[in-house]
Amino acid sequence: MSATLSRQRKRIADPAFRWFVTLAGASVFVILAGMVIRTTNDAWPIFQYQGFFSFLTGDQWLAGSSRTDSDFTGTYGAWPFIYGTLVTALIAIVIALPLALCVAFYINQLAPKRLRNPLSYSVEMLAAVPSIIFGMWGFFWLLPNVLRPFLEWLESTFGWINLAGWKPFEGPVFGSSYLAAGIVLAIMILPIITAIVREVIAVNPVDQQHAAYALGATRFEVMRKVVLPSSFSGIVAASMLGLGRAVGETVAVMMLIGSTKSWDGSLLSAGDSMAAHIAARFGEATPETTKALMAIGVVLFLFTMIINIGARLLVWRIGRVSGDAAV
């Protein structure tokens, strides 16, 4: 009676399955590396020609017409597009995050019980609406009816503000502008942030909330001192997802930002963002310009990476202090 515990039947599926999932896992790295290497490689001559630093900071963008990897004729300063991306994404997140927290809090704590599910389904449905819809609605309805009067009011009320040479609300008002694009982006990323924050809040342990109530906390205090701190990493993750969508958003921004290459710091003037500029120009681009657009893509990729790493660090640092369970 020996060897009764040894393998009694052949298993083919096991090793095959293991290989398959290993391959699937490895493909993530292969795709990522392939993308980074290929785009960086294509963009490299432009960085060499222009210099990486002057590519980031220059505010002149003049497309060239060279057909080879040398003899470039253009000037490539991507700062106007970088500024456009940063400013629109920042406006979007600054507006959307507090609103998302409020909506999520309302759905979770204050809304009548029978309204909660319909509300959260609606939010999730909104999160799935394609950005072109937001862009069209923003351009054809929101811009003339709401945004333009609002921008004009901003200009007439705060136009005088001058922060060390930067006049954020200086006219003239065209309608299409950084601020208009930023506001539509905010509306666009609001549902996805809300949906995630709502779920994060919903799984917050009820017994800890009860403990706080039993100490005399009000609903608001329970939210602020118990639910929000322990949901911190989830809220950061939701914001990053929203910010990532805002930074990379192409179509909606293209329709609302005005697409000019000139750079003017005022939030009310038209400009362009990295993603919108690439999308608008690559169809008609010369081989030289294609490389320059690739270079913008590399910078855009770098930005999203920095944002993600920054978020990780933030969660890690604050999580250590607040005892966040997810860290």
Partner 1 sequence: MSVFDVQGLGVAYGSFTAVKDISLEIPRNKVTALIGPSGCGKSTVLRCLNRMNDLMDATVSGKIIYNGEDIYGPEVDAAEVRRRIGMVFQRPNPFPKSIYENVAFGPRLNGFKGDLDQLVEESLRSVALWDEVKDKLDDPGTALSGGQQQRLCIARAIAVQPDVLLMDEPCSALDPIATLKIEDLIRQLESSYSIVIVTHNMQQAARVSEMTAFFSVDIDDEHGMRTGALVEYDTTEKIFNNPGNTRTEDYISGRFG
Q: Which residues bind partner 1 (CB under 8 A)?
A: 113, 205, 207-208, 210-218, 221, 225-226, 230, 322-325
Nearer to partner 1, 99 or 212 (CB): 212
Closest approach, Cβ 218 to partner 1, in A, equals 5
Q: What is the CA radius of gyration of the chain?
A: 25
CA distance 247 to 17: 38
Nearer to partner 1, 205 or 310 (CB): 205
CA distance 266 to 270: 9
Closest approach, Cβ 210 to partner 1, in A, equals 7
Nearer to partner 1, 309 or 326 (CB): 326
* Residue 132: both structure tokens together: 């072109």
CA distance 126 to 237: 19
Nearer to partner 1, 112 or 283 (CB): 112
| Neighbouring C-beta atoms of residue 286, cutoff 10 Å | 15
Nearer to partner 1, 14 or 207 (CB): 207
Closest approach, Cβ 205 to partner 1, in A, equals 7
Helical (H) or strand (E) element with 284: none
Nearer to partner 1, 205 or 287 (CB): 205
Nearer to partner 1, 210 or 317 (CB): 210
Cα distances (angstroms) measured from residue 91 to each of 164, 178, 258 = 20, 9, 16
Closest approach, Cβ 124 to partner 1, in A, equals 25
Closest approach, Cβ 315 to partner 1, in A, equals 15
CA distance 279 to 254: 8
113: phi > 0 → left, psi -120 to 50 → alpha, else beta; which? alpha
Closest approach, Cβ 321 to partner 1, in A, equals 10
Question: b/e string for 247-272 if b means 16 or more Cβ within 10 A?
Answer: bbbbbbbbbbbbbebebbebbbbbbb
CA distance 4 to 47: 67
Cα distances (angstroms) measured from residue 156 to each of 165, 167, 168, 236, 271 = 18, 13, 12, 36, 21
User: Which residues, other chains included, contact 59 with Cβ-Cβ below 8 Å and sequence gap of 6+?
Assistant: 77, 79, 80, 263
Nearer to partner 1, 108 or 269 (CB): 108
**What is the dihedral sign for C-alpha 225, 190, 272, 37?**
positive
